[in-house]
Amino acid sequence: MTLKSNCNYMQNRELSWLRFNHRVLEEASCPTIPLLERLNFVNIFTTNLDEFFMVRVGSLTDYMAYAPDYVDNKTGMTAEDQLDAIFQACAPLYQERDRTYAAVMGQLEKNGLTALRMEELSREEQKDVEKYFNASILPVLSPQIIDPRHPFPHLNNKQLTVAATLEQKDHRLLGLIPLPPMIQRLYFLPGEQRRFLLAEDIIRFYAEKVFQIYKVSHAAVICVTRNADLDTDAGFFDEDLDYRQYMSNMLKKRRRLTPVRLEIQGALADESMKFLCQKLKLASRQVFHSQTPLDLSFWSQLPKVLSPTQHQELVQPSFVPGASPAFSGRGSITEQLQNQGDVLLSFPFESMQPFLQLIRESAFDPDVISIKITLYRIARQSKLAEYLISAAENGKEVTVLMELRARFDEQNNIEWANQLEEAGCRVIYGMDGFKVHSKICLITRREQGQVRYITQIGTGNYNEKTAKLYTDYSYLTRDPVIGADAAAFFANMGLGNLEGIYQKLWVAPASFKSNILAGIDEQIRLCQQGLPGSLTFKCNSVTDKDIIQKLREASQAGVHIRMLVRGICCLLPGVPGETENIHIRSLVGQFLEHSRVYCFGEGENCRLYISSGDLMTRNTERRVEIACPILPEHLRRQILSMLCTMFRDDVKARILQPDGTYALPPQGETPLCAQEHFISHLPRFAPSQSLHSGENSPKSHKGLLGLFRRKTK
């Protein structure tokens, strides 16, 4: 019998994530978004769900097999309970994706871009496609029948495969045709209209030509999703093991792990379905039928075939980050930091270029002694990595703490680690059981005979590509105490010391969580003394039970709590007697909300930190994360102003309800989309008002507090 929790202010993380992904899918129905961008949101929803099955469903499947006593500590659900709930919740999501995809493609057809099935073509068109099939597709196919002499093959993770029910005389067989990766996915029909077919549909239609001596009674496109939740720490400290080689071997293993889902587009005979499930060891609940193509990555090829007029109507204009108002655009970034003090860059509204220029300058600056940096995810074509290589070649001491276990970026990180090491950089890796997820860079200089530091601390990765797509903060400071903390951090990482002591930085797993809990306790004490207490948090996910319970305690004490949580949120707000003083919103927009901000108190007593870490147990206890205080008042005002605007968003925001669902906020006379506001106002967004400019000021933190006090009464 499953032990259920009586806790009515917490929800299961997996179901909360599925609700987040549903909000992603909702963006595909937004009429103000260009149609190809709406198609991309369907694609993002699909790839998100793929990763969810590979990782989360994969890990729960492992729990069922190897940890039968496991229960979710927030809801009391067993692994089997959670899987049942996940499969039940996913079925309607597939149906909604089908409706959304059909609606978007219907609108695209009206705009001259049409996806067709082979059955919709004229006989003459089918003959033209058949010539293409015979010349370009058929020669590279590797079909196989399944019988005693042809055993069931390994189906690669997420590889599209045409499955066919074959008939010969008095018996039936299953035939499989994997889609070769070198085949062009799209085939465009001749003519002015942009009409196209998918390669898998062409193969499905001509399956009888492939299997020759067999009659095809049914054919469908299938796709297997496999468990990709590998234990990347096993053997980490084997002295005879090269860790990069170990990770390479683990990536090969990922392609062969246990199936957790079967997707089908089309129809197969019942016996073929049963046979597939038997061979893949999948239950019927793990089979999902789809009218939508199982891989939507082809959307990115469509803008290339549009006319200029179509492109203007169907594609989101390319967003170009603005120049930071903190830098003149001329002269040395290093000198400008020396002259004007700390700077906060806000991605993607401001460019990452000043930071990249700083690293490039440092690579050639004779006063620079060393550059040390943590790398979790970087671009495949990375200017940053090239500048670090230049620095090493110029005799600088360059230390790179490279995390090889960044999920699905492992191969890219392995390749860059090799190149950096070959160039003379000192490359070290994370520690057993603790991914290094922190974003910190330390430049050590010798100025007038003394050691000086420039420290950069961010909320997001050093990736030139995602810096144009994700919202993040990048803090550049010459604060000597933060610089000394950063130097101590890299020294501790080199020694494998997770218990380092720091003056200003909070570093997980030793002090990040404890300081957040202490900050919440401080606000509770203020309320107990009859003074106002407030907390303003922005993060991607909330799952840490200790922090959830402490936030509930704060709410009961009268602390006013406002949270922006993009994704998973196991904390339920507004539950009577439990979380009545907690208000939680989610934002899903053009850019991925990725920055983390933790603000304790208000007014001149406000303490504000930016961080690489979320309020998830994996971040607070099992990763190396950093939170850094923002001390200059004008930079705190900048962040608080942006938070205030996000809390006022009534276009893209959704309000989390006590039952775990999300509702649209009441819309004002002039609707406000926060990200569009930042695009139109940056780099002029930094407010000149004081932090205490009045209850009615929408740009003040006090105004922010008042806004949600009124709503939670």
How large is the average pLDDT for residues 22-51? 96
Instruction: Tell me what percent of the chain is helix, strand and coil, each rounded to the nearest 5.
Output: 40, 20, 35
Q: Which of 61-70, 81-90, 155-164, 559-568 has the lowest mean pLDDT?
A: 61-70
Q: Partners of 624 in the beta sheet?
A: 436
pLDDT tens readout for residues 134-145: 999 999 999 999
193 confidence band (pLDDT: 50, 70, 90)? confident
**Model pLDDT, residue 244:** 52
How large is the average pLDDT for residues 326-342? 88
* Domain 13-314 identical in fold to domain 335-504: no
Give the active site residues.
Answer: 437
**Model pLDDT, residue 235:** 39
Specify the pairing of strand 194-198 against strand 113-115. Answer: parallel
pLDDT tens readout for residues 241-299: 454 554 455 555 545 589 999 999 999 999 999 999 999 999 999 999 999 999 999 99
697 confidence band (pLDDT: 50, 70, 90)? very low
* Distance from C-alpha of 426 to C-alpha of 372, rounded to nearest angstrom: 9
pLDDT tens readout for residues 412-471: 777 888 888 899 999 888 787 888 999 999 999 999 889 999 999 999 999 999 999 999
* Distance from C-alpha of 573 to C-alpha of 434, rounded to nearest angstrom: 31
**Model pLDDT, residue 418:** 85
**Amino acid identity of 411?**
Q
Question: Tell me, which fold does domain 335-504 have in CATH?
Answer: Endonuclease; Chain A (3.30.870)
**Model pLDDT, residue 408:** 67
* Distance from C-alpha of 675 to C-alpha of 349, rounded to nearest angstrom: 9
**Model pLDDT, residue 344:** 97
How large is the average pLDDT for residues 533-537? 97
pLDDT tens readout for residues 64-109: 888 888 999 999 999 999 999 999 999 999 999 999 999 999 999 9
Residue 203 has pLDDT above 60, yes or no: yes
What is each CA distance from 193 to 39, 115, 127, 523, 684, in whole angstroms? 19, 11, 19, 63, 44
| Strand-by-strand arrangement of the 287-289 sheet | 144-146, 171-178, 161-168, 215-226, 259-266, 287-289
Distant-in-sequence, close-in-space partners of 124: CB < 8 Å, separation ≥ 6: none
Residue 607 has pLDDT above 80, yes or no: yes
What percent of the chain stands above pLDDT 70?
90
Contact 371, 359 (CB under 8 A): yes
In DSSP notation, 383-418 reads HHHHHHHHHHHTT-EEEEEE-TTSTT-HHHHHHHHH
CATH code at 507-712: 3.30.870.10
Of 375 and 432, the one with more pLDDT: 375
**Model pLDDT, residue 691:** 30
How large is the average pLDDT for residues 39-67? 93
Contact 219, 272 (CB under 8 A): no
* Distance from C-alpha of 413 to C-alpha of 98, rounded to nearest angstrom: 36
**Model pLDDT, residue 202:** 97
Residue 330 has pLDDT above 80, yes or no: no
What percent of the chain stands above pLDDT 90?
76
CB hemisphere CA count around 225 (13 angstroms): 25
Number of H helices, E strands in the chain: 21, 28
Contact 647, 702 (CB under 8 A): no
Domain boundary assignment for the chain:
13-314, 335-504, 507-712
CATH number, domain 13-314, options 3.30.1840.10, 1.10.443.10, 4.10.640.10, 3.40.50.620? 3.30.1840.10
**Model pLDDT, residue 192:** 75
Structure tokens belonging to residue 303: 């803008």
